Amino acid sequence: MDEKEEDKSEKSKQNHIIYYKSLSKIISNMEKEIDDEGEPAVKEHLRSRIDAVEKDRKRIRDLFPDMKMEEWDDNTN
């Protein structure tokens, strides 16, 4: 099976930054849900979803290794 080569153009980078920002917001919302939730099974489900989103964020950061972590963090505000 052939692996698709990722687009690392400046436009792709900007799109990934926007997507990364949306993932950060999703994580923040899920963390609030965990705080509000009383059911342990639901909390565990939300934590596993956060783990999956974190893996996607790492994949995006790995696509653009020239960006420092502080730059990603600056783009999430």
Residue 2, in any domain of the structure: no
Tell me the pLDDT tens digit for each residue of 12-70: 999 999 999 999 999 999 999 999 988 999 999 999 999 999 999 999 999 999 988 88
Q: Write down the pTM of the prediction.
A: 0.78
User: Cβ contacts of residue 19 below 8 Å, gap of 6+?
Assistant: 60
Residue 66, in any domain of the structure: yes
Categorize the per-residue pLDDT at 2 as very low, low, confident or very high, splitting at 50, 70 and 90: low
Q: Are 34 and 43 in contact (CB under 8 A)?
A: yes
* Total domains present in the chain: 1
Range of the domain at 52: 10-16+40-77
| Confidence (pLDDT) at 11 | 92
